[in-house]
Amino acid sequence: MLRLYNTLTRAKEEFQPVHPGEVRIYTCGPTVYDYAHIGNFRAFVFADILRRYLIYKGYRVTQVMNLTDIDDKTIRGARQANTSLSDYVKFYSTAFFEDLQTLNIERAEHYPAATEHIPEMVALIQRLLERGYAYQAGGSVYFKVDAFPEYGKLSYLEERQLQAGASGRVDADEYEKEDVRDFALWKGWTEEDGDVYWETEFGKGRPGWHLECSAMSMKYLGTPIDIHAGGIDLVFPHHENEIAQSEAAMGQRFVRYWVHCQHLLVNNQKMSKSLGNFYTLRDLLKQGHKARAIRYSLLSTHYRQAQNFTLDGLASAEAAVQRLQDFMANVQTAEGTGTSVEGLSKRATQQFEEGMDDDLNISLGLAAIFEFVRDVNRLMADGRLSRDNAPRVMATMRQFDRVLGLLDDADTAPDADVERLVQAREQARKRRDFATADRLRAEITALGYVIEDTPRGSRLKRL
């Protein structure tokens, strides 16, 4: 039975979906105004592990991740780049999807963009106005926090902190608010918005950021949904506001389980451009780091612990991934006289699931896998792993990899040219033309691969 830590109750709870066998997840997505950084990707990799483990457990998953394409940052970015908002955000959404693929993050079922759901947001605002939870002032519409007594139930903040937190975020154009905690559902047009606005019955303007997640979650997943996931920094005010808007409008619970991923630090400091410790995924790839190593690094700390990202840590992640990938290749060369691996395989699977069932304890999950690798390696070293055992071992590893996503390595998949050279070299060796074989080996090395000859043929490894 899977147990998840619910931020709302501050407790680990048994996971029970609203509809048996089905899980509906909403994940707060990126603001597409720049390349996402590795702190953002830690939360997205976490959501991917959650998604993959639910699928591993046999659930049918419907996941929605929004793209915030309308806010101060996207508008400012488009203006500075002297381009239209839609061209500007298109560039960064495309980059975001490329990055997801690089990190082997499974695609969600829906990626709604805020600008494509203005009617849904307007309808939600109308509903809140009708029910007395919102008011119009100065061309904007605000949520009336006072009308929703449960406000603060997710973040556990005292009244005083709620006020301080909210007042830190008051925009200059929000002085019409009745209460410092109130937040904008609809922002009246200002000059900085330029040609970015929608004409509605509330006047010319654009939706507030918090509103889009409520509107799109309800549209694609209904209420209540099973899981809402995001980074810990979103708890207040974003998720608190989402709860207020959604529950005030619908008169029922919005989300059953709130799960939040902790921060990522770099060299024990908050990532910032001025400290020179700010990395996008692309920065790391340019430095020659491998995509699967970055994925491993981001998933290997339990999601409720702050992660300290370092380049040394990334190097160990690379070694760990290499170990798993080498293992998969080595197992295929087993030539021993075999004992059964059934017991080992079952034990590893059980340990893996026990760990992951306990609030996705990835440390226990990974420990189970590496112990299995060690045990099988020992059998092989003793000549006790037969060729017939290999498929069972590999199937077990593939099972784990449905959750981890580390074995099919985009980095090391050799291209067709290299494969052709390998085949040509095999043929040269068969006809004992060693001069040609050596020349081809040198060509393959030049392309960044080494060939290892085994009794059952040769295999490639990236240098």
Please choose, out of 20-28, 283-291, 309-317, 342-350, the segment that lies near Zn ion by the rule CB under 5 A: 20-28
Number of helices followed by number of strands (H, E) in the chain: 15, 16
Q: Which one of 22-30, 155-163, 179-187, 399-407 is the stretch in contact with Zn ion (CB under 5 A)?
A: 22-30
Our CB check for Zn ion shows the closer of 213 and 421 to be: 213
Q: Does 108 bind Zn ion (CB under 5 A)?
A: no
In DSSP terms, 205 is beta-bridged to 188, 198
CA distance 187 to 199: 12
Residue with tokens 């690089």: 102
Reduce the DSSP state of residue 222 to 3 states and report it: coil
Tell me which of 28, 129, 221, 331 binds Zn ion, using CB under 5 A. Answer: 28
* Interaction between residue 440 and Zn ion (CB under 5 A): no
Q: What is the DSSP string of 361-402?
A: -HHHHHHHHHHHHHHHHHHHHTT---TTTHHHHHHHHHHHHH
CA distance 231 to 157: 18
Radius of gyration in angstroms for the set of CA atoms belonging to the chain, rounded to a whole number: 26
Distance CA 393, CA 378 (A): 13
To the nearest 10°, report the CA torsion of 125, 127, 128, 130: 120
- Determine the size of the site formed for Zn ion (CB under 5 A): 2
Least distance from C-beta 26 to Zn ion, angstroms?
Answer: 8
Residue 316, classed as helix, strand or coil, is helix
Pair 364, 355: CB distance under 8 Å: yes
Nearer to Zn ion by C-beta: 28 or 235?
28
Indicate the residue among 241 and 301 with the shorter CB distance to Zn ion. Answer: 241
418 near Zn ion (CB under 5 A)? no
- Residue numbers 198-227 binding Zn ion by CB under 5 A: 213
Report the Cα 428 to chain-centroid distance in Å: 47
Is 105 a binder of Zn ion (CB under 5 A)? no
**255 touches Zn ion by CB under 5 A:** no
Could you tell me the end-to-end alpha-carbon distance of the chain, in angstroms, rounded to an integer? 42
251 phi and psi angles, rounded to 5 deg: 70, 20
Quick one: 43 or 166, whose CB is closer to Zn ion?
43
Instruction: Give the count of beta carbons closer than 10 Å to the beta carbon of residue 116.
Output: 11
CB nearer Zn ion, residue 28 or residue 380:
28
Indicate the residue among 64 and 437 with the shorter CB distance to Zn ion: 64
Nearer to Zn ion, 157 or 213 (CB): 213
Q: How far is the CB of 234 from Zn ion (least distance, A)?
A: 6
Instruction: Examine residue 114 and tell whether it contacts Zn ion (CB under 5 A).
Output: no
> Does residue 235 interact with Zn ion by CB under 5 A?
no
State yes or no: residue 460 binds Zn ion (CB under 5 A). Answer: no
- 122 near Zn ion, judged by CB under 5 A: no
User: Is 65 one of the binding residues for Zn ion (CB under 5 A)?
Assistant: no
Q: How far is the CB of 255 from Zn ion (least distance, A)?
A: 11
Residue 67 CB, nearest distance to Zn ion (Å)?
11
Q: How far is the CB of 368 from Zn ion (least distance, A)?
A: 34
Cα–Cα distance measured from residue 86 to residue 84, given in angstroms and rounded to the nearest whole number: 5
Annotate each residue in 81-100 with x if it binds Zn ion (CB under 5 A) or - if it does not, as one string.
--------------------
Q: Which residues bind Zn ion (CB under 5 A)?
A: 28, 213
